[in-house]
Copies of this chain bind each other. A is one copy, B any other.
Amino acid sequence: MTAPGRLSWTDVRDRIRARILNRTYAPGDRLPRDEDLALELGCARATVHRAMQELSQSGLIERKRKGGTHVRAHPVTRATFDIPITRREVEQRGSRYAYQLVSRQLEVPPSPVMARFGIHQSGPMLHVKAVHLADNRPYIYEDRWIDTGSAPEILNIDLTTQSANEWLVLNKPYSRVDVRFHAIKAAGEIARQLAVATGEALLIIERTTWIGDQPITTVQSATAPGYQLISQG
C-alpha cells in the first residue's frame, strides 16, 4: 500500500481502533491530540486526521474542536443497508422480474400518510399500488403516494409497464430519505396481493423522500414471507 516503514492512514486507523478495542482508550476516554499521535506514530497530522475521520464516521469516536477526541461512551452497532430498485434486486437473485399495477388514482392522502411527510394538509396525491414478482411469485407489494407538485411528470407515465419505484429512483433523486422497518400481520389487500395467508408475519420497509423540504414520495413495501434485509460489509 505504501513505502515500507511508512504508515498509511488505514494503518493509523487500525492501530487506534486496536487501542480502543483493547481499552488502552476506554469508552469515554479522551484520546491524545492528533498532533501528538502523529508525532508518536511518526506520520503527518493529516494522516491521523484521515484515520480519525473514518473512526468518527463508523461511530467509534466523537470529535469536537478544542474538546478533542473521545471514545464514544455508549457504543452503538452501526449498520448500513442498500435498498436497490426492486427489479434489480430480483434480477440479481437470478429470478425473473415482473411487475403488475394494482391501482392508480388521485386522492387526498389520509393523515398517517401526511404525517410521514411531516405535513398537516395536502392536495390530492397520486396513490399507486403495485406488485413486484420474482419468478411469477409475489415478492413485494408496494403502496405508494406521490406528490404531484414535485413530480408532475409521473401523471404522464404509463405505470402499467414501468413501476413508479423505478421511474422515481431514476428520475427523481431526493436530498433526504427516511427509512424505517417494522413487522405486521398480513391482512386484507396486502395478504391478497402477496398471496399469503392472513396472519402471516411480513417485514415492512417504509421509505419517504424529499427534495429540499418538498415531499416526493412515501412508500410502504410489504415483503413476501422470508424476506431478509442484510447489512453491507
- Residues on A facing B (Cβ under 8 Å): 17, 20-21, 27, 57, 59, 74-85, 88, 169-170, 173, 175-185, 199-204, 207, 211, 223, 225-231, 233
Contacts and interface: CB of A to CB of B under 8 A. Distances in A.
A226 B180 CA distance: 12
Contact of A75 (B170, B179, B181, B228): B170
Given A81-B78, A82-B76, A185-B201, A179 B231 contact: yes
B199 A183 contact: no
A150 to B, nearest CB: 12
Given A169-B75, A231-B179, A202 B203 contact: no
A183 B203 contact: yes
A223 to B, nearest CB: 8
A181 B82 contact: no
Q: Tell me the number of copies of this protein.
A: 2
B180 A231 contact: yes
Contacts of A88: 74
12 contacts: A57-B57, A75-B85, A78-B81, A78-B82, A177-B231, A181-B203, A181-B228, A182-B203, A182-B226, A183-B223, A201-B201, A201-B202
Mostly, the A contact residues are: strand
A83 B75 contact: no
Q: Which of A57, A80, A180, A230: most chain B CB closer than 10 A?
A: A80
B27 A170 contact: yes
Contact of A83 (B77, B177, B203, B225): B77
A76 B169 CA distance: 8
A225 B183 CA distance: 8
A229 B75 contact: no
A229 B202 CA distance: 15
B200 A185 contact: yes
A231 B178 contact: yes
Contacts of A81: 78-81
Contacts of A225: 183
Given A75-B85, A76-B84, A201 B183 contact: yes
